[in-house]
Amino acid sequence: MGTSVTDSIYLGDMFGTAAMRAVFSDERRFGSWLEGEVALARACARVGVIPSGVVERIAAAAKIEVLDVTAMKAEYERVGFPILPLVHQLAKACGPESARWVHWGATTQDIVDTGLVLQIREGLALIEADLDQIIESVAALCRAHRDTVMAGRTFQQQAAPVTFGYKAAVWLDELLRHRDRLAEMKPRVLVGQFGGAVGTLSTLGQDGLRVLNEFCQELDLGVPRITWHTARDGWAELVFWLAMLCTTLAKIAGEVADLMRTEIDEVREPFAPGRGGSTAMPQKRNPISCPIIIAIGHRLRDSVSSQLTAMVQEHERAVATQPLEWLVIPEAFVLTSGSLKHSKALLSGLTVNAETMRRNLALGGGLLMSEAVMMGLAPRIGRGQAHDLVSRAAGRATDQGKTLREALVNDQDIMRHLTIEEVERLLEPANYLGVAAQMVDRVLERI
C-alpha cells in the first residue's frame, strides 16, 4: 500500500491519474534509461566511436524484461548510484563483445536526466491534451453565458454587475496564457543531457559534439549548447509552470465553491446521486472536486520552492540537489494530472443557475447599482457631488431597511436632476455592463 496520496490504492485516483502515474512509474523510468543507453550507442556508432555491429545487440538486450530488478535494487543500495546497476544488467544481457561499449562516454547524470526529460515529454503531452479540453469547456461557458447577468463581487461584497460569461472569460484568458507558456517552454525543457564526468565530453575528444548531436537527434530532443548538469533553470521553469497552471485551476475552483454556498447558490458542481453527501447531514451536497483542486494548487506552490533550491548547485556536480528533483518532479506531474482530471469534470458539467444570479442582484435592495446611479448623475452635477448624494441615499437605504430606489426617488436633491424613468434605467443591471460582452468576444477570438 502507498504511503502518500499519489500512490495510495485508496486515495491515489483522487489526487492523480493512472496514466500519469504510469509515466513516472519504475517501469517507465527504467525504460527511459534504456532508451537513453540505446540512443547513445547508436550515436557513437554513427560517429565511428564504437563499432556499428554492436548497436543492434545492445538495442536487442535493452528490454525491461531482461532486467533483474531485485538485483539492481540490492546493488543500488550498495553503490548509491542508480544507473550503474542498470549498466551492469544491460552489459550482461548483450554479451561480452558488446558489453564493453555500453554507456560509452556517459556519466550517471546523463542517463538519469535524459530519461527524466523523456518522461517529462510524455507527461506534458497528457497535460496539454487535458488543458485543451478544459479550455474548450470554459469557452463553451463563455459563449453560453456571455449575457447572463450576475453580481460582480469585490472584497467578498456585491460591487457592480458583470456577466457569468465575463467571469469565465477571465478564467479562459489565463488558461490560454498557460497554453502559450507551455509552447514557449518546451524548447528549454525538452533538451538532451550528455556531457560525461564534468560535462566537457573529454572521453570523446573532438567527436564529443557530433555524438551529442546524434544522441539528441535519435531521441528527438533539443541539443544543448553546453552541458546543464548544474544548470537547472529549465526544470525550475517547468515546475513553476505546473504550479501556475494548478494555481489558476485552484482559483477557479475557489470561486465555484464560493458560488455554491447556500446563501449564493449560483453554480453547482456536476451532481450524481450520493456525491457530496455528508455522514451527518442528509441534505448536504458539498463540493467534492473543488477541495482537491484547491489543495493541489497549494501543494504545488511548495514544489516551486524545492525546485528553486535545486538550482543552487556547486561546481560541476552537486552533492544533494539531484535527489531533490527526483522527489519534486514526479509528484508535481501526478498532482497536476489530478487537478486537471477534476477540473475537466467540474467545468464540462458545471450547473449555472441564471435565475438565482438574477435574483441575487436584488439582495441589499439593489445597492450594487449605486455606482451606475452616480455615473448617471455625474455629468449633470459633477462626479464628486454625485458621489456624495448617492452615498447619502445608499446610507439611508441601509439604515432604514429601504431599497436604493426608494431612497433615490425620495431624495429631492437627486430627483431635481433625474426623472423616474432615468432612475429605473440606471437601476437595471443589464444596462451597466460596460464592454463586458466585447471583452468576452475578444478572448474567444484567441481559441
Q: How far apart are CA 209 and CA 211, in angstroms?
A: 5
Q: 420's torsion region: left (phi>0), alpha (psi -120 to 50) or beta? A: alpha
Do 256 and 290 touch, CB atoms closer than 8 A? yes
Q: Which of 181, 210, 317, 425 is catalytic?
A: 317
Do 178 and 131 touch, CB atoms closer than 8 A? yes
Do 28 and 67 touch, CB atoms closer than 8 A? no
Q: How far apart are CA 317 and CA 359, in angstroms?
A: 64
| 317 tagged catalytic | yes
Long-range contacts of 5-14 (CB under 8 A, 24+ apart): 6/331, 6/334, 6/335, 6/338, 14/292, 14/338
Q: Which of 446, 447, 445, 435 is nearest to 166 (CA)?
A: 435
Local structure of 160: helix, strand or coil? strand
What number of other Cβ atoms are within 10 A of residue 307's Cβ? 26
Q: How far apart are CA 387 and CA 376, in angstroms?
A: 11
Which triple of cell numbers denotes residue 373?
A: 446611479
What number of other Cβ atoms are within 10 A of residue 116's Cβ? 23
Residues in the chain, overall count? 447
What is the H or E stretch that residue 150 is in? strand 149-154
Tell me how far apart the terminal alpha carbons of the chain are, to the nearest angstrom.
43
Which triple of cell numbers denotes residue 360?
A: 441575487
Q: How far apart are CA 284 and CA 292, in angstroms?
A: 18
Local structure of 161: helix, strand or coil? strand
Do 373 and 406 touch, CB atoms closer than 8 A? no
**Distance of alpha carbon 372 from its chain centroid, rounded?**
38
Please provide residue 280's backbone torsions phi and psi, each rounded to the nearest 5 degrees.
Answer: -110, -35
Distances (CA, A) of 391 to 331, 367, 379, 429: 52, 10, 17, 18
Q: Which of 52, 278, 305, 391 is catalytic?
A: 278
Q: Give the CA angle between residues 218, 222, 225 to the nearest 5°.
A: 115
| 32 tagged catalytic | no
Q: Which residues are catalytic?
A: 278, 317
